Every structure is written in C-alpha cells, then in structure tokens.
Amino acid sequence: MADTPPAKQPAPSETAGAPRPSWGDSPQQLDDWLRIEPDGTVVVFSGKVELGTGVRTALAQIVAEELDVSLARIRMVMGETEHTPDEGYTAGSKTIETSGMTLRRAAATARQALLEMAASELDVTPDELTVQDGAIILPGGEHTAGRRVTFAGLLAGGRFERTISDTAPLKRPEQFQIIGTAAPRLDLPAKFTGQPAFVHDLRLPGMLHARVIRPQRLGASLVSLDANALIEASVIRIGDFVAVVAAREEAAIRAARALHLTWSDDADSPDLPPMKALHDWLRHQPTTDRIVVASGDADAALQHATTQVSATYTMPFQAHASIGPSCAVATFDGEMLTVWSSTQGVYPLRAALASLLQMPEDRLRVNHLEGAGGYGQNGADDVAADAALLARELRQPVRVQWSRADEFAGEPKTSAMIMALRGGLDGHGAVSGWTFDGWTPSHANRPRQAGDFIAGRFVGVPAPQPRGFFLGGDRNAPTDYSFVDQRVLIHWLASVPLRSSSMRSLGAFANCFANESFVDELALAAGVDPLEFRLRYLADPRARAVVETAARRAGWGEPLPAGVGRGMAFARYENTEAYVATVAQVAVDTASGAVRVSSIVVAHDCGQIINPDGVRNQVEGNVIQSLSRALKEEVRFSTKSIISLDWESYPILTFSEVPEIEIELLDHPELPPVGAGEPATVTTAPAVANAIFAACGARVRTIPFTPGRVRAALEATPA
C-alpha cells in the first residue's frame, strides 16, 4: 500500500533517471475540499479512499475538530473522479500525515472565513465570537436570535471562494476535543448489520454477471474456443480476452467451467524457475546496483575485525490474500464509461483505463467503493479493467467477480528477496563494519497504461517495459543504528518470475527481518544481551524509549522454562517515520519444529495520535498479519504457474494461532502525526526468529518459519 515516493531523505537510488508518477498536485481551492449544506451538514471531499483502516473516520475527526462541529455533521465523499480532488493513491500510511494536513488547513480556513462573515453580520469583531457545533455565538447568545448565526445561514448555499490558507490558526493540541479521542468508525455499523458496504454489494438495474477466463500462464494465446455447451450465458471475446456473461451469477460461474478453451503452450513468458531454486535464480539475474548508505569504510573495518559474521536471509513471494476476491462494476451509456472499484487511486486508475480503452479521460469516471482489506495492489485495478472492457462491449451494466483462484493467480505478489549481511566485531565486542546486500525488484508497479493490466495483455497490448526507476525494495535496508563503517547496497532486479507490486511495507518486511535477525546474530557473537547490544547503538531518545518500553512490558531478562524464548526487534519505519519495538515470546516443539507464539508486546510511537483506538486497531492488525506472513505464507508455483490457489494451499493465521498482544502507544501530541498503518508489520518476523533462536538454538533465515524449516535449522545447529 505504499508506492508514493518518500518525502524525505531521497536515497541515491531514487535519482535514477526516468520520471516518476507525480500524482497529487492537489487543487487548493477551499470549495474543492469542503462545502456546507443548507441543513448544516459539512460535506468533505477527499481524494483518499477508505481501505478498511479507518481513514474516513480519522479525516472526519480532523475536519470536525478544526471547524468546531460535531462528528455527526460531517459527511465524507471520498475517491470519486467527478467530485473529489486528485490525491493520487491512498498508500503508505501517509494519509493522515499529508491529506489530513490539507483538510486541517481547509477546515481552519473555513472556520476563519465563517468567523469573519459572522463578525460583520453581527457587527462585532471576530474575537468576541465563539464557535459551537456549526454555529457562531456572541457571549450568552446560545439561544438568542441576533446573537447567534449558523454556518449554513452565513453561507446561504454559497461558496467560500477562497484558497486554503497556510496561516489560518490551527488549534493547539491542548485545545483538541475530537482529535485524540477514540471516535467509533463511521463505516462499521453498515458492515455489522448487512447494509451495502462493499463494491461487491453494488447492483445496477439490468446488471449482468461476468467471469473472466484466462490461461494459467500470462501471455499464452487462444487457440480455440468452443461455446456450444453454454445455455444461459454468452461469450465475449476481445482479442484473447475471454469472458462469459449471464443474467444470473451462478450461470456465469457454470459457464466459466463449461467453456472449452485451448491455449497455446508457447507463452511469451519463459518457464518459471523451479520453486526450490528461486533465490539462486534471483541472485544470478542482471541487476542495477545502487548504494543506499556508505559511511566510513565498511570493508576495511570488517578486515580489521577480530570476529566476522555473515548470514543470508530469504523472503518468498507472498500474496495480499484479501478475504473477498476483487470485484468491479462498470457501465457504459455510449458516452460516459463509469467504473466502481476498490482501487487505491481513482485518478491513476482512470488514466490507465483511458490507455486501455483508448478513450479520453473525460469520458471516464472512477468511483471508489470499498473492497476487502487489500494491503497493497491486489486484483482491484485488474478487475476494474475487466469490467470496463466488458461494459464498453455490452453497453449494459456488468459486474465482474473474480473467483478465489482468479485472485490468487492474478493479484500481483510482493516479491521474493535476498538479503546478505556481513558484520564484524572488534576485540571489545563493538561493531566493526556492517554490510547489507539486497536483491529486490522495484515494488511499485501499479497500472499506468494498458499493458500493466492483465486484461491489457490479452487484448493484445504488449507487456510494459521496466519502468526505469526503483522503489520500495530498499525500504529499511539501512538500519537505525549508529554503526560507523557501513555500506548498504541494493542489487535491483529488472524483473522477477511472478508479477509483483506493492504490499504493506514493501521491502521493509524482508529487510527488517534480515537486519534485526542479524543484529541478534552479532550480539550473540559479541556475547552481549540483544537488548543491551541494540541500546549501545541507539542515541535517539524516541528509539530508546520504544525499545525499553517493549522490553519492560515483556519482562525482558526474566527466566523462562526450557523450550521457550523471547526475541526482540526494533525499527524506525522508513528510517524517518514511526518507531516500533516488538518482543515475541515463543515455544518451540523441537521434535516437530512447530512454533507456538504465545505473546507479542509492541511499543509504538507515531507522533501525535489522532484516534488512539484506530491506531491500536492498526497495530494489532499489523502484528497478526505479519505473524501470519512470518509463520505460514509462501506463494507456491510450478514451472508453469502459481499453484497455491486456495486457502488450503495458501494458509493464513487462524484464531487458535493468535497470540496475546499487548500494545503500548507512546503519544507525542506536540509532534506531527506519522502513519500507523505499516510500521508494526516490520518487526514481527525478526522478533519471532530471534525468539525461536532463544528458545531452541535454531536460527531460521528463511520466511516462512514452517516446522520443516525450524527442524532443518535445528539440525544445522552444532550440538
């Protein structure tokens, strides 16, 4: 969910040539963001979208706070190309930080404008006035006509006609009444009572149901098609893009099964490498090498070190694995084509669809409706392309629902990676040299043109060229420790065997796993407790605070029974954002290699907290999802195609496997907020790996930590 370019500290790798998508040159007209209806409702237009993380509520809280209205008066309009500003993607947990700030200023500007209008209407100066839930009042004037005017009355249906001001006074943290409170999520009542809530729930009059049929291999071409067996469904074919369409959904499903298709064997994509040899294969591909960090002289320091340690860690392909497979609805009236999609960016999707459909953007409308939690680029954009193509062909509303297998096969995966580390210690156990070599592709491949969609490939648009810029694979490759001599080098892969794109925290999941496991390996070699070892190299008080808090809450150092261990990990997300420290406690059954995680403690500092319950919810979600990724998840493939196409072959964490989770939020109301949607994803895997080591001496360097891998690591451990 994170391929907006980082705002701070551009690493050298990001200067690489070609231009980068520049979404989000947002209009700064106040009326584009905020409108007040005659009944006093405040309509907020946000180009961001709700991804199931509660941003709708958090943004509403921000506006309610600065405008001095109750939350109940706010109506959020989000992600509609016709109505909302272009704010690019909702990604990278940056929504509150960036979009939230724009809305905060918009609301403050509106409040100031309204105060000025009220002052002239009541013939007083603005500082004599107070604002109360959408009304402006003279002292003692709560119920007195002539001493009280409402926002709606002042505007009388008119517009503000001003630009968002950078100087309109913002509230100070101690004045907050809504920000910082655990406001209940606005979207949940519908979801808990069976009201329409998802794109899946949209029904248009005369809407047809479609299923798209594709070969196992991207790039295979259609040899023959026999639709004779179809009764209640018809086939739509556009080039090699094939779909079945029916009035009833189950008829479309049956037709998809009944249709006889032959695809060519000679796909334009080569065979996949054997799954077992994946990382070897990756390591032998051509790369573009970029140094991310070079300080001191890492090689010389390593050479002078009295002890040298090295280790290589690997990350598999993993799936977003949304619980609801992607779905989209589209309709075309001959003039306008409208698509409802759970995309993370309505404007970028519109631009890419324009390229696919060869239609001007002003004849396309993209409206966001929620999907199941996606955590990055799942099938949402691709299914929108499927629906758009079919709607144009059918001139009738059409709903495309991907099957579970379509989703697992079609959604772009987060890429496999390799991280090779070396570290040295001097005679006193101090770090003398640290190097990190990472093999990764760019993690940003969201659709920008026709060939980026799966459908594009089948209607005959060639596969896109590599983009020429690299993003995300280096995230958190640098540590936050003050090692004097270090080098972080990324070997960027032009392509990888499976279609890949953004998933929660991008490369940081794998990079932190490697870094924080290796810190423990070095601490072991130095004979120093991992907590103590980390603190030696952390000067930043906020970093120390999360590490110390997590350790204290987890009872770090207290004795544990045999076979049980504690492990910790720390990171500052993206090296510039939230601070997070995690301590995991695990029990390992050494006979089977099974790992049972009994508890996870997280200390989390994301600056100012807008909605503490929302942040907690995000952190809990991060912990459980990343634990699932650490313990269980790996996309399986043959040399022809992905073969993990259901929940049995791609299992995720179940209730029985969920540990006790304790979270401590360190609030800093005096600091700006930074995202909480991703940080706590990156420290779980290394904390668990370190705990497994503490429990039984097995060092697992490959995700996921399956029983087989733990057993193998145990066997490799010198007795």
Partner 1 sequence: MTITITVDGKRHEVTASPDTPLLYVLRNDLGLNAPLFGCGLEQCGACKVLRGAEAVMTCMLPVGDVDGASITTLAGLVEDGELHPVQQAFLDEQAAQCGYCSNGMIITIAALLWRTPHPTNEQIRDALDGNLCRCGSHGRILRAVRRAETLMWGDENG
Is omega for the bond preceding 325 within 30 degrees of 0, making it cis? Answer: no
Question: Which partner in ligand FES, partner 1, none is near 188 (CB below 5 to 8 A by kind)?
Answer: partner 1
Q: What is the chain's length?
A: 719
CB of residue 206 to partner 1, shortest distance in Å? 13
CA atoms of 349 and 326, how far apart (whole Å): 15
Question: Which partner in partner 1, ligand FES, none is near 159 (CB below 5 to 8 A by kind)?
Answer: none
User: Burial code of 676-709, b = ≥16 C-beta within 10 A, e = fewer?
Assistant: bbbbbbbbbbbbbbbbbbbbbebbbbbbbbbeeb
**Interface mask (CB under 6 A) for ligand FES, residues 45-64, using x and -?**
-------x------------
Amino acid at 384: A
Bridge partners of 244? 211, 235
Q: Which is nearer to partner 1, 320 or 365 (CB)?
A: 320
CA atoms of 640 and 282, how far apart (whole Å): 17
Chain residues that interact with partner 1, rule: CB under 8 A: 51-54, 184-185, 187-189, 191-198, 200-201, 203, 209, 248-250, 253, 320-325, 370-373, 375, 401, 403-404, 613, 617-618, 620-625, 628, 646-648, 652-656, 658, 661
CB proximity list for 719: less than 8 A, separation 6 or greater:
none
CB of residue 689 to partner 1, shortest distance in Å? 19
Residues within window 569-598 making contact with ligand FES, judged by CB under 6 A: none
CA atoms of 713 and 710, how far apart (whole Å): 5
Question: Which partner in ligand FES, partner 1, none is near 524 (CB below 5 to 8 A by kind)?
Answer: none
DSSP code for 639: S
Query: CA neighbours within 13 Å on the CB side: how many for 634?
Result: 18
Q: Which is nearer to partner 1, 550 or 619 (CB)?
A: 619
Cα 527 to its chain centre, rounded Å, is 38
CB of residue 622 to partner 1, shortest distance in Å? 7
- Structure tokens given for 614: 């929302």
231 binds ligand FES (CB under 6 A): no
Question: Which partner in partner 1, ligand FES, none is near 646 (CB below 5 to 8 A by kind)?
Answer: partner 1
CB of residue 374 to partner 1, shortest distance in Å? 8
CA atoms of 132 and 129, how far apart (whole Å): 10
CA atoms of 429 and 523, how far apart (whole Å): 8
CB of residue 594 to partner 1, shortest distance in Å? 16
Q: Which is nearer to ligand FES, 72 or 188 (CB)?
A: 188
Bridge partners of 587? 564, 596
CA atoms of 342 and 367, how far apart (whole Å): 8
CB of residue 407 to partner 1, shortest distance in Å? 9
Q: Which is nearer to partner 1, 442 or 585 (CB)?
A: 585
- Structure tokens given for 234: 């018809």
DSSP H helix total and E strand total for the chain: 18, 24
CB of residue 250 to ligand FES, shortest distance in Å? 14
Let me know: does 497 contact 281? Beta carbons within 8 Å. Answer: yes
Question: Which partner in ligand FES, partner 1, none is near 166 (CB below 5 to 8 A by kind)?
Answer: none
CB of residue 649 to ligand FES, shortest distance in Å? 15
- Structure tokens given for 652: 């995720």
CA atoms of 543 and 571, how far apart (whole Å): 8
The DSSP H or E segment spanning 43 is strand 42-46
Q: Which is nearer to ligand FES, 198 or 537 (CB)?
A: 198
Q: Which is nearer to ligand FES, 269 or 617 (CB)?
A: 617
Question: Which partner in ligand FES, partner 1, none is near 701 (CB below 5 to 8 A by kind)?
Answer: none
CB of residue 373 to ligand FES, shortest distance in Å? 4
> Using CB under 6 A, which of 373, 410, 614, 659 touches ligand FES?
373
CB of residue 54 to partner 1, shortest distance in Å? 7
**Interface mask (CB under 6 A) for ligand FES, residues 309-348, using x and -?**
--------------x-------------------------
Amino acid at 402: W
Q: Which residues bind ligand FES (CB under 6 A)?
A: 52, 323, 372-373
